[in-house]
């Protein structure tokens, strides 16, 4: 495949045939989400609208967008509850999308994180990292680490422009979180930070339906993997990994499969206490359960919850009553975890 050089966000009026004529045939596609052309150009139709930081006043949350790295144009959307006298814990969040699609400005994330901020009474920084295939792994991990270092610098240097949120932030209670590919990013960033964040204090890791993979299929991947009505099926999962992993890597690369070398390697990690949220009808269910079991065998502190009757990304994509109920349960569990 030719080197990937550019990304295009398309209006609903674009002519797909003209575009293909100009840029060549499609070499990779996830229907409705992304097309990669032979010349490296990428189409990402706006299947989910991007929205401004504006929020309903009844949420009592201030939201703003801030650029945190001008070189890579990495930015973040902040959610800061108001009317709180005590300082608030900080949740640094990474959105999902298979490393290839998604945005901190997507309406579904904006609504979910605003509600999470007010429900849990925490400050949230939602990081908008670079996407594959233009920026394959480890670019999203690098962006995640840079975001944490940026937060640390705001704390240390107490910049005047940042005081609107830093004065309300409890920097001794910082958590990393994300869903799907974002949970993968949170996990891999957590394994890398070490002493780089001192004196910033990381307290825990919250992984919602973490996007891991492997060459050997799990039972849930085999049984639920071809459900095209799901937010994630096996065809899409494999395509995301082909686009995101370094050239020549397979799904047993440690960024995709943290268990490829067995759970013994996990003993070497100084991993944060971890909460894993798993969906019962998600193709990732068994892989997530295996991950939790391996962490426990390696002596890591891990707890998990399986949410019944819901699939991948239910908390942002489904409006059913069951999904709303499970989302409330998830937020309550996150609240309890962050209070420990």
pLDDT class for 244, splitting at 50, 70, 90? Answer: very high
Q: Summarize pLDDT for 28-40 with one digit per residue, the tens.
A: 999 999 999 999 8
Segment 302-312 shows an average pLDDT of 97
pTM of the shown model: 0.93
Q: Are 287 and 218 in contact (CB under 8 A)?
A: yes
- The H-assigned helical ranges of the chain are 16-23, 107-120, 139-157, 163-166, 181-190, 219-224, 234-244, 285-297, 314-317, 321-339
Which residues are CB-neighbours of 77 under 8 A, at least 6 positions away? 53, 63, 64, 65, 104, 105, 110, 113, 125, 126, 128
Which position has the higher pLDDT, 285 or 84?
A: 285
Q: What is the pLDDT of residue 202?
A: 95
Segment 84-101 shows an average pLDDT of 95
Pairwise CA distance, residues 71 & 302, whole Å: 36
Q: Summarize pLDDT for 259-297 with one digit per residue, the tens.
A: 998 755 788 888 999 999 999 999 999 999 999 999 999
Asked if residue 197 has pLDDT above 90, the reply is no
Q: What is the pLDDT of residue 83?
A: 80
**CATH topology assigned to domain 57-339:** Rossmann fold (3.40.50)
pLDDT class for 1, splitting at 50, 70, 90? Answer: very low
Pairwise CA distance, residues 296 & 218, whole Å: 19
H or E segment and range at residue 248: none
Which residues are CB-neighbours of 86 under 8 A, at least 6 positions away? none
Q: Summarize pLDDT for 152-182 with one digit per residue, the tens.
A: 999 999 999 999 999 999 999 999 999 999 9
Least confident window among 3-12, 13-22, 113-122: 3-12
**In the 8-state DSSP scheme, what is residue 200?**
S
Strands 123-128 and 169-179: unpaired
Asked if residue 14 has pLDDT above 60, the reply is no
Q: What is the pLDDT of residue 298?
A: 92
Q: What is the pLDDT of residue 5?
A: 32
For the question of residue 180 being annotated catalytic, the response is yes
pLDDT class for 7, splitting at 50, 70, 90? Answer: very low
Pairwise CA distance, residues 133 & 135, whole Å: 5
- Active-site hit among 103, 162, 173, 180: 180
Half-sphere exposure of 166 (CA within 13 A, CB side): 15
Segment 211-223 shows an average pLDDT of 96
Domain boundaries, the chain: 6-45, 57-339
Which position has the higher pLDDT, 266 or 331?
A: 331
Segment 55-79 shows an average pLDDT of 96
Q: What is the pLDDT of residue 210?
A: 98
Q: What is the pLDDT of residue 265?
A: 78
Q: Are 3 and 40 in contact (CB under 8 A)?
A: yes
Q: What is the pLDDT of residue 266?
A: 87
């Amino acid at each position: 495949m030719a080197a990937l050089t550019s990304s295009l966000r398309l209006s609903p009026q674009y002519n797909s045939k003209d575009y293909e004529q100009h840029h060549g045939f499609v070499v990779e596609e996830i229907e409705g989400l992304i097309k990669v052309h032979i010349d490296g150009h990428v189409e990402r139709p706006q299947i989910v609208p991007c929205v401004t930081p504006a929020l309903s006043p009844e949420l009592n949350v201030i939201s703003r967008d801030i650029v945190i790295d001008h070189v890579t144009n990495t930015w973040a959307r902040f959610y800061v509850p108001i009317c709180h006298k005590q300082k608030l814990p900080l949740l640094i969040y990474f959105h999902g999308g298979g490393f290839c699609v998604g945005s901190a400005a997507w309406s579904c994330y904006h609504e979910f994180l605003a509600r999470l901020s007010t429900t849990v009474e925490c400050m949230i920084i939602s990081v908008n990292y670079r996407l594959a295939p233009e920026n394959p792994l480890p670019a999203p991990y690098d962006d995640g680490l840079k975001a944490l270092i940026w937060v640390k610098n705001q704390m240390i240097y107490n910049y005047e422009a940042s005081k609107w949120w830093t004065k309300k932030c409890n920097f001794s209670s910082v958590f990393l979180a994300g869903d799907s590919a974002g949970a993968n990013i949170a996990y891999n960033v957590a394994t890398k930070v070490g002493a780089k964040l001192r004196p910033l204090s990381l307290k825990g890791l919250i992984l919602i339906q973490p996007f891991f993979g492997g060459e050997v299929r799990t039972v849930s991947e085999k049984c639920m993997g071809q459900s095209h009505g799901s937010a994630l099926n096996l065809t899409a999962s494999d395509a995301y990994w082909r686009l995101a992993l370094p050239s020549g890597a397979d799904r047993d690369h440690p960024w995709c499969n943290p268990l490829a070398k067995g759970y013994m390697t996990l003993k070497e990690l100084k991993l944060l206490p971890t909460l894993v949220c798993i969906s019962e009808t998600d193709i990732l269910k068994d892989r997530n359960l295996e991950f939790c079991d391996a962490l426990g065998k390696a002596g890591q502190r891990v707890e998990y919850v399986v949410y019944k009757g819901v699939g991948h990304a239910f908390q942002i994509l489904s409006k059913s009553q069951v999904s709303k109920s499970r989302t409330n349960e998830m937020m309550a569990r996150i609240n309890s975890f962050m209070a420990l």
